[in-house]
Amino acid sequence: MTIREIDDLIKFGDSLKVVAQAYGEIASIKIKKIRTQVEKNRLFFREIADVYRIVKLYASQRGLITIKHKQTLSILITSNQGFYGGIDTQVIGFFLDNIVKFPSDKIVIGKTGREYLKEIGFNAPFQSVEFKDDLPNPQELISLTQIIGEYKQALVFYPQLATALVQKPAVEDITQSFLSQTQNLLQMAAQNQKTELDYFIFEPELIKILSFFDNQILNLLLQQTFLEAEVARTASRLLAMDQAQREADNFISDQKKVRSHILKDKINNRLLEIFSYISSLRKEATL
């Protein structure tokens, strides 16, 4: 390898470092902007989900639930872009591990998920959805909510921020379906006619509340999962870009060492040539 080739590699490493720094700075600004909002909303949306569950349970006891013929929908949220570390791959793996446990229709959101499943030869049918950005606009969100509204249960698989350094795959039943965590509660309610639900007063009438929840609240819960996914991916990108900068520094350092060794070898070879030349001149002078 020549000095020029090594200098080109060093310039390439510097360019990668600049790109990683730029992406890292953007991710840092973005996560500061949305992390507080997302974490603040978690408790609110958890409480909204609990109310949604109560409304559906109460309506089910009174035969007010609209019969839906489609059972379960599994939704995988991935990104359209790269440089997010391995978080998308982790979520896809989590999705694949869980969907084999129960039959469901499938929607894969994002270019990353669609391309990954094609590469591994995923044979099960799924609907691919790609929004303009990783965060859907209001109209895109409404369209997705309408699809979800046709199912009894909708499970959303997405990346979730645990801490600034830890992102993990998560799944959320945004429909608060009786097919999942409320099933036992429903059975208990059926056995005991006088449950604590009898003490709830609904205003306006329950059917209007349920209709509102099945549209607006479902839309909000879905939006929250996209925000959770966005902040988790941003944190993952921040860590990935920090790691990329360290790798670029190590790469540049290694190339500089190689360059230094080559220069030393050239100097040593040059000195040997000079000494050899001086030695030959001395031999000629003694003859």
Summarised one tens digit per residue, pLDDT across range 84-105 is 778 888 999 999 999 888 889 9
CATH of residue 141: 3.40.1380.10
State the average pLDDT for the chain.
77
Q: Which domain holds residue 157?
A: 25-241
In degrees rounded to 5, what are phi and psi of residue 158?
Answer: -155, 160
Closest CA to 221 of 163, 176, 255: 176
The C-alpha angle 82, 41, 143, rounded to 5 degrees, equals 60
What is the reported pLDDT for 27?
A: 67
49 domain-assigned: yes
Global pTM value: 0.67
258 domain-assigned: no
pLDDT beyond 70 at 30: yes
Spatial distance between the Cα atoms of 135 and 255, rounded to a whole number of angstroms: 40
176 domain-assigned: yes
Average pLDDT over residues 55-69: 69
Q: How many domains does the chain have?
A: 1
| Local confidence band at 185 (pLDDT 50, 70, 90 cut-offs) | very low
Of residues 287 and 136, the one with the higher pLDDT is 136
247 domain-assigned: no
178 domain-assigned: yes
Average pLDDT over residues 125-149: 89
CB-based contact 47:176 (threshold 8 Å):
no
pLDDT beyond 90 at 157: yes
122 domain-assigned: yes
| Local confidence band at 181 (pLDDT 50, 70, 90 cut-offs) | very low
284 domain-assigned: no
Spatial distance between the Cα atoms of 34 and 25, rounded to a whole number of angstroms: 15
Average pLDDT over residues 145-160: 88
pLDDT beyond 50 at 183: no
Spatial distance between the Cα atoms of 172 and 166, rounded to a whole number of angstroms: 19
261 domain-assigned: no
pLDDT beyond 50 at 191: no
Structure tokens at 104: 């469901």
Other beta carbons within 10 Å of 223 = 19
What is the reported pLDDT for 175?
A: 81
